[in-house]
Amino acid sequence: MQAHNSATTERLKNATWYFFDLDDTLHEFRKASSAAVDATLRLILGNHAHHEPSSGEPLTVAELNAEYLKILKTSTSAAFVDGKTSHEYRAERFQGVMKAFGIDCTEQQMQVLLDTYEAAIMQNLQLKGGAIPLLQTLKQQGKSIAIITEGPQDSQERTVAALGLEPYFDRLVTTNKLGVAKIDGLFGKALEMIGVKSEVVMVGDSWERDIVPAVEAGIKCVWFAEKEEESERMVVLRREEQRVMVVDSLIRLESILTIAD
């Protein structure tokens, strides 16, 4: 079992606000997204095979997926700060895949693709183990809770509702709504918007996009890293070191908060 610094644990106890990342922190986003992409690409492939039989080697889902991943990497690098809806982002990605392989798509066909993706991702949403007990414990301790996440505002609202997380959160802050990425100042804007300056803890799974920028904004952090065995890690910023608690599960974090209380 991981051992944690008592001072770090005390800061968790004294915090008035908890900020949480959403995707891959509170729920299994990568798994749900992967299932949705696969279902949509298979539909594209089926439509292509039916309407436009290819000569030579047949097109495969693997080829479509490789192209999708290239487009995804480019299109999400801006962290959804330009205010488009999730459906607009998705349509652009799938249109890019089809264009790369010379596949035509009508507006009606695109709508079917988007409906397929939405249905699949909602069907595959799954909370991380211990998410609800952790949030219940925080609310019982009188903490205020916000989701601070990258992604389209509309899809994150639907995800929060579908996962049953709405009762536990006081605010939902997205890069899409505020127009700034986590690494470009989202945490500072969130603090300003909520009106809190100190005693805040951020819980997230990404070291680069959650922990480092949150620490830079003066926020204490818990790094949710399922494959890490260390109990703490140091962040060096502006020649200063700050301790970051590391937990390998939300269940572990909830137990620490219970002990601290």
Least confident of 12-21, 59-68, 74-83: 74-83
Q: How far is CA 85 from CA 75, 91, 151, 182, in A?
A: 13, 10, 9, 19
- In whole angstroms, what is the distance from residue 63 CA to residue 25 CA? 30
The predicted model scores a pTM of 0.91
Query: pLDDT digit string (tens) for 235-253?
Result: 766 656 788 999 999 999 9
Residue 5 has pLDDT above 70, yes or no: no
Q: Assign 159 a pLDDT band (cuts: 50, 70, 90).
A: very high
pLDDT for the residue 49: 66
Query: pLDDT digit string (tens) for 95-115?
Result: 999 999 999 999 999 999 999
pLDDT for the residue 92: 95
- In whole angstroms, what is the distance from residue 26 CA to residue 202 CA? 13
Q: Which residue has the higher pLDDT, 48 or 39?
A: 39
3-state per-residue secondary structure call for 102-132: CCCCCHHHHHHHHHHHHHHHHHCCCECCCHH
Query: What is the percent of the chain where pLDDT is above 90?
Result: 76
Q: At what angle do helices 131-140 and 250-260 cross, to 10 degrees?
A: 20
pLDDT for the residue 50: 56
Contact 32, 125 (CB under 8 A): yes
Query: pLDDT digit string (tens) for 42-70?
Result: 999 988 865 454 555 789 999 999 999 99
If you average pLDDT over every residue of the chain, what do you get?
A: 90
pLDDT for the residue 1: 43
Q: Assign 11 a pLDDT band (cuts: 50, 70, 90).
A: confident
Mean pLDDT of 122-149: 97
Mean pLDDT of 30-44: 97
Residue 261 has pLDDT above 80, yes or no: no
pLDDT for the residue 233: 77
Query: What is the percent of the chain where pLDDT is above 70?
Result: 91
